[in-house]
A and B are shown apart, each in its own frame.
Chain A
Amino acid sequence: AQSVTQPDARVTVSEGASLQLRCKYSYFGTPYLFWYVQYPRQGLQLLLKYYPGDPVVQGVNGFEAEFSKSNSSFHLRKASVHWSDWAVYFCAVSMNMGYKLTFGTGTSLLVDP
């Protein structure tokens, strides 16, 4: 069965610093991977998605993620964090491009001013 692990429940970074949020997936096949963001009191919004191809995927607001089959990972990165990035970030995986997404437990990002 597919699964996603986000090992860091909370990450704190200073504004302007770089960011990496970790995501590990478990699936014996070709995964389709997603990062969603949930701002306070809002629904989730898609940041970026990976389909088999270029391992580095660009998303909105300067976010990017890199797929690594050897490490079973899909880490999210940003070069310079802004205070408005304060949110909860969810990694998700789908198998076979059906209808079901499996979400990780989320990583809360706190930004120090």
Chain B
Amino acid sequence: GGIITQTPKFLIGQEGQKLTLKCQQNFNHDTMYWYRQDSGKGLRLIYYSITENDLQKGDLSEGYDASREKKSSFSLTVTSAQKNEMAVFLCASSRTGVQDTQYFGPGTRLLVL
């Protein structure tokens, strides 16, 4: 077994601020993902990484940067927080592609004032 840890659990930011979310996994998985979850909109893929130092854009990458400096960690940066933005950011990992189960972290809840 393994676990995915996301920090922080809650993040309150100001408009225009750069905010960084972190994700760690101890599954030794190659692939990691960042999703954004908005109420009523399901999950949308922001970035994914198939190996250390690899980055692939998802459907919602504009306004975000990502970094995969180690196999076990994957960071996401909101480059300029939007006023009244409220969403949950979910990190996931899988051994390889979608044929392998994706394991999700508990999420980071973002609120921008």
- Residues 74-86 of B, flagged 1 when their CB comes within 8 A of A and 0 if not, give 0000000000000
B44: chain A residues within 8 A (beta carbon): 103
A90 & B31 in contact (Cβ 8 Å cutoff): no
User: Does A32 interact with chain B (Cβ within 8 Å)?
Assistant: yes
B34: chain A residues within 8 A (beta carbon): none
Known: A43-B90, A94-B98. A100 touches B45 (CB 8 A): yes
User: Does B50 interact with chain A (Cβ within 8 Å)?
Assistant: yes
C-alpha spacing A59/B95, complex, angstroms: 20
Interface size class of A (residues with CB under 8 A): 20 to 34
C-alpha spacing A94/B43, complex, angstroms: 14
- Enumerate B38-97 residues with CB–CB distance to A below 8 Å: 40-45, 48, 50, 56, 58, 90, 92, 97
Q: Which of these, A32, A43, A44, A105, contacts B99 with CB under 8 Å?
A: A32
User: Does A11 interact with chain B (Cβ within 8 Å)?
Assistant: no
B97 & A99 in contact (Cβ 8 Å cutoff): yes
Q: How far is the CB of A17 from chain B (nearest CB, A)?
A: 26
A105 & B41 in contact (Cβ 8 Å cutoff): yes
A104 & B97 in contact (Cβ 8 Å cutoff): no
Q: Which of these, B31, B56, B90, B98, contacts A44 with CB under 8 Å?
A: B90
User: Does A101 interact with chain B (Cβ within 8 Å)?
Assistant: yes
User: Does A61 interact with chain B (Cβ within 8 Å)?
Assistant: no
Known: A44-B90, A104-B42. A99 touches B56 (CB 8 A): yes
* Interfacial residues, chain A to chain B (CB-CB below 8 A): 6, 9, 32, 34, 36, 41-46, 49, 51, 90, 94, 97-101, 103-106
A-B contact pairs, 18 of them (CB 8 A): A6-B42, A9-B40, A32-B98, A36-B104, A43-B92, A43-B103, A43-B105, A43-B106, A44-B43, A44-B90, A44-B104, A90-B43, A97-B97, A101-B98, A103-B35, A103-B43, A103-B44, A105-B41
* Interfacial residues, chain B to chain A (CB-CB below 8 A): 4, 31, 35, 40-45, 48, 50, 56, 58, 90, 92, 97-99, 101-107
**CB-CB nearest 4 A-B residue pairs:** A43-B104, A105-B42, A103-B43, A94-B98
